[in-house]
Structure 1
């Protein structure tokens, strides 16, 4: 069965195609009696308006592009769900892309979203794309940074930001290990090109300085992945002397840390204490783990990002000051 056209709807309702368009787009005056005739014809013919034509007419696609490093990470899934729950109420749909921590792939996704004419972009950047992000913002595309900042502070200050207080969280997490008497601490972190990696590293070092520890911490920098958490533990266990505690600054890496410690027959925290930036669900499977962790709030961050998106989209040409929403943390212990 062929699809009905707007001309067929107009003929069935005995009105012009322009009137059908006004009814469907809710633009311009149309009497209630005519509206009823048009909608009855739409239902009877099962007419489906062209999304492309509607977006061209309204200058909106009702699509929002979301780029995160890893959509399978529960943290970014929580952020995405929060965004969707807010913008979905206004008729917007999300288009997802995972950069895989690859700046080149992120650049291609940004270009793709521009070509698709998305109404706005949410970006948890892998780094290295300040120029293209700036060009998109200059072209009028609303962009909300989430979780991560741009490398250039000047460029980032022009955009809305929803992020965590990474330095403070890492400071508190490391301080708890120091308070328990640990001096030699292994640090598991992601790449320095990501603002989260840089800021959390600084938080660890601030905690060590505050305790008067001048020696360099034992640091493993990898990707934000389970595999690199495993590699970090292997390196730490091979060092002499090896650390008595590990602070892992990413939830995916923390899972790898726990897995490798257990594989080596070590007990947490008796043989190796662990503190994680982000809760690790597998930690609850350990017997008396004594695991410190930062309680993150990705869903709440997502809802705030969604609110900022709608604010930008609805403001159109109106000049708005960039918003900066920073979420702070408490340290918890899983016993």
Structure 2
């Protein structure tokens, strides 16, 4: 069965195609009687407006591309839910993409979204694409960075950013372990090519240096993955002088740390204390875990990113400088 066209709707309602378009787009005056005829014709013919034609006419696709390193990570899903709750009621849909921490895949996804004419892009970058992202922004494509900063050349346009105070938060997390007497600490860090990996490690090092303990720190790159957290614990346990505490700098790696400690039959925190950058749900299942964690607010970050997106898409007057929203978090403990 062939799809009905706008011309067929107009003929059925005995109006012009322009009148049908005004009714559908709610633009211009149309009498209630005519509207009733048009909607009646639409229902009778089961007419479905073309989204492509609508986007061309309005110069909008009502699609927002979201590129994150891992779409299965609850942290990034929390951000995305916040964005959706802001832009969804305004008629926008989110198109989710996972870069898998690959700069090459991220570059392909950015090009695809640009070709699909999305109205804006939300990006938690995997690094290595500063020039490409700068060119997108310079072309007029709204780009809002979340979680991770972009290292750009001086000539690149400034970009909106919603992120955390990574260095200070990691400092406070490490300090919580130091204040309880731990001096031999293993840190599971993420990728240092991205800002979160660099900044969080800087915070840990600052806390250790303040106590004169920087030479007592063991650093392992866990690649922001659960397997990375598992491998880190395996490495720490092979040390002649094991650390008495582990600070893990993202929730995925923290999950791996907890899994491997439990598999090895170690008590948390009796045998090994743990501090996690981000809450880990599995920590609730442990008996008296004493787990320290950073109480992040990904949903609130998403809400703020959504507000910025709408302002940019609508070309509302914004600040001369880009929006720069930095969230500060509190260290808590599961008892």
TM-score with structure 1 setting the length: 0.96
More off after superposition, 193-202 vs 315-324? 315-324
Partner of 2:106: 106
Partner of 1:245: 245
Equivalences for residues 12-51 of structure 1 within 5 A: 12-51=12-51
Q: Contact 2:121 / 2:142 at 8 angstroms: preserved in 1?
A: yes
1:131 equivalent in alignment to 2:134? no
Distance (Å, rounded) in 1 between the aligned partners of 2:75 and 2:56: 35
Paired residue secondary structure (1:292): strand
Distance (Å, rounded) in 2 between the aligned partners of 1:95 and 1:37: 36
Distance (Å, rounded) in 1 between the aligned partners of 2:36 and 2:233: 69
Distance (Å, rounded) in 1 between the aligned partners of 2:160 and 2:121: 11
Distance (Å, rounded) in 2 between the aligned partners of 1:102 and 1:155: 25
Distance (Å, rounded) in 2 between the aligned partners of 1:278 and 1:210: 24
Q: Contact 2:184 / 2:216 at 8 angstroms: preserved in 1?
A: no
TM-score with structure 2 setting the length: 0.96
Distance (Å, rounded) in 2 between the aligned partners of 1:214 and 1:332: 24
Partner of 1:174: 174
Q: Kindly tell me: are residues 300 and 115 of structure 1, through their superposed partners in 2, closer, same or farther at Cα, counting changes over 3 Å?
A: same
Distance (Å, rounded) in 1 between the aligned partners of 2:240 and 2:13: 84
Q: Contact 1:185 / 1:243 at 8 angstroms: preserved in 2?
A: yes
More off after superposition, 255-264 vs 18-27? 18-27
Q: Contact 1:151 / 1:193 at 8 angstroms: preserved in 2?
A: no
Q: Kindly tell me: are residues 285 and 98 of structure 1, through their superposed partners in 2, closer, same or farther at Cα, counting changes over 3 Å?
A: same
Distance (Å, rounded) in 2 between the aligned partners of 1:280 and 1:153: 36
Post-superposition Cα deviations, 1:104-160, rounded to whole Å, max 9, x if no partner, equal 000000000001000000000000111111111111111110000112275787111
1:301 equivalent in alignment to 2:301? yes
Equivalences for residues 78-97 of structure 1 within 5 A: 78-97=78-97
5+ residue gaps in structure 1? none
Distance (Å, rounded) in 1 between the aligned partners of 2:192 and 2:145: 18
Partner of 1:213: 213
Paired residue secondary structure (1:82): helix
Paired residue secondary structure (2:176): helix
Shift of 1:194: 1.2
Paired residue secondary structure (2:243): coil
Distance (Å, rounded) in 2 between the aligned partners of 1:162 and 1:60: 24
5+ residue gaps in structure 2? none
Partner of 1:147: 147
Q: Contact 1:60 / 1:119 at 8 angstroms: preserved in 2?
A: yes
Q: Contact 2:134 / 2:157 at 8 angstroms: preserved in 1?
A: no
Distance (Å, rounded) in 2 between the aligned partners of 1:105 and 1:317: 34
Distance (Å, rounded) in 1 between the aligned partners of 2:228 and 2:207: 24
Distance (Å, rounded) in 1 between the aligned partners of 2:232 and 2:155: 33
Shift of 1:205: 0.7
Q: Contact 1:130 / 1:155 at 8 angstroms: preserved in 2?
A: no
Shift of 1:192: 0.2
Shift of 1:248: 0.3
Shift of 1:21: 1.3
Q: Kindly tell me: are residues 275 and 157 of structure 1, through their superposed partners in 2, closer, same or farther at Cα, counting changes over 3 Å?
A: farther
More off after superposition, 125-134 vs 206-215? 206-215
Partner of 1:255: 255
What RMSD in Å do the two structures reach over aligned CA positions?
Answer: 1.6
